[in-house]
Structure 1
Amino acid sequence: MPTSKSATKRVRVAKKKEERNRKVKDQLKEAIKNVEEALEAEEVETAKEELREAKQTIDKAVTKGILHENTAARRKSKLERRVNKLIN
């Protein structure tokens, strides 16, 4: 247990940040999963729409500091390649 007031506050702040980060990560995983499900079902229009939403979610995670820019770019590129492969 923290003994000082500042340590107690750090525990509270860390808990809030953890909850916020978990929420964003869950949204991120859900968005990517939706794209993958559309790809498996071979639904081109749905895959395009889900890809657009997933890219937005990934970008939001970057701005909140949850993902590194390069990691986000890699994930978006990977999804984009898979959707383009389905289209062609």
Structure 2
Amino acid sequence: MANIKSAMKRVKITEKQTMNNRAAKSEMKTTIRRFDEALQAGDATASEKAYLTAVSTVDHAAAKGMIHKNAAARKKAQMAKKRAAAQ
């Protein structure tokens, strides 16, 4: 455990950031899962809406540095491929 005041503050900040990043990554995974579920159900309007939401959350995660930009591009490409195959 840190003894210096600034180091203790950084530990608190890091814990808070970790919680926020974990929640945001979980939300991103949830939106991707909802997109997959909408595709499986065959609902075109729901899958289109879920696709746009999922792409938005992936872009946000990449912009905030939670995932690498190439990982974001890969996830979006995989979703676009699934979307095109379903149509």
> Does the pair score TM above 0.5?
yes
Indicate the residue corresponding to 1:34 in structure 2.
34
Indicate the residue corresponding to 2:73 in structure 1.
73
Identity, % of aligned positions: 33
Distance 2:84 2:42 in 1: 12
Indicate the residue corresponding to 2:14 in structure 1.
14
- In structure 2, give the amino acid aligned to 1:71: A
Which stretches of structure 1, 4 residues or more, deviate above 2 A after TM superposition?
Answer: none
Indicate the residue corresponding to 2:86 in structure 1.
86
Give the paired residue count: 87
Distance 1:53 1:46 in 2: 11
Distance 2:43 2:76 in 1: 19
3-state SS of the aligned residue for 1:65?
coil
Q: Any unmatched runs of 5+ in structure 1?
A: none
- Show CA shifts across 1:7-53 (max 9, x none): 21111111111011012101101100110101111112211110001
- In structure 2, give the amino acid aligned to 1:37: E
Indicate the residue corresponding to 2:50 in structure 1.
50
Q: Any unmatched runs of 5+ in structure 2?
A: none
CA RMSD of aligned residues (A): 0.9
Higher relative contact order (CA 8 A, sep 6+): 1
3-state SS of the aligned residue for 1:24?
helix
